[in-house]
Amino acid sequence: MANVLIVEDEKAISDLILMNLRLVGHEGRQVFDGNEVSEVLREFQPDLVLLDVMLPYKDGFSLMEQKIFDGIPVIFLTAKDSVIDKVKGLKLGADDYIVKPFETVELLARVEAVLRRAKPTERYISIDNVSIHFDKREVTLNNKTVDLTNREFELLEVLINNRNIALSRDKLLDLAWGYDYFGDTRTVDVHITKLRKKLEFENRIKTIFKLGYRLEV
């Protein structure tokens, strides 16, 4: 679980980010303009900042220049797909940037990646009688090792990183098999069936009619 400071003046976008972060187990605090940030930082210690560039009163670049996020990883949210913005954000010390509009899975993947880099503690999760050690790529059920193929493990990792979010078969193929994989979406079904059986996740991995799957935790 991470505490995320969301600095974004468009309420709909900010609410959407907060909702999705909460779905995967994080917490967030919303700030809607540039002036409010330093005040909030006095009583809220975030593990990560999502920082919009265009903000009322003080823009994201100025906030970075003030170095008020000292030591806290920052991901810029930039509306423009402008190279100059990205380069400027990264030069100012941001860890990553996301171009708006973005997909939920992309947001969550970048958040996880930056958090992992910032805090290289062992990533571990347990669901029912299943324990998953991501770094060792080790999965146990009732304390007994479960043999997963690399692909099954990657699929499981994608489902966990996006838990409680419905993912289409195409999205799962992109994320677990890679964008250059031209496979049949039935491949996904086959692997899901194996994961359900191996992990006793029949009630955890839900089939979403006409779409794909969702891991419910």
Compute the least distance from the CB of residue 114 to Ca ion, in Å. Answer: 20
Of 195, 120, 96, the C-alpha closest to 154 is: 195
Residue 37 or 176: which CB sits closer to Ca ion? 37
Q: Min. distance of Cβ 52 from Ca ion in angstroms?
A: 4
**Smallest distance, Ca ion to C-beta of residue 17, A:** 12
Q: Which residue has the CB atom at the shortest distance from Ca ion?
A: 54
Contact 17, 6 (CB under 8 A): yes
**Closest separation in Å from C-beta 32 to Ca ion:** 9
Gap between the Cα atoms of 114 and 12, Å rounded: 24
The helix/strand count (H/E) of the chain reads as: 8, 12
* CA angle 112–115–120, rounded 5-degree value: 115
Closer CB to Ca ion, 77 or 215, in the complex: 77
- Nearest to Ca ion of 100, 206 (CB atom): 100
Would you say 52 or 152 has its CB closer to Ca ion? 52
Task: Answer yes or no: are the C-beta atoms of 213 and 206 closer than 8 Å.
Answer: yes
The residue (of 52 and 85) whose beta carbon lies closer to Ca ion is 52
Q: How far apart are the first and last CA of the chain?
A: 14
**Which residues of this protein are in contact with Ca ion, per CB under 5 A?**
9, 52, 54
In the complex, minimum distance from the CB of residue 10 to Ca ion, in angstroms, rounded to a whole number: 6
Q: Which element (helix H / strand E) includes 200? A: none
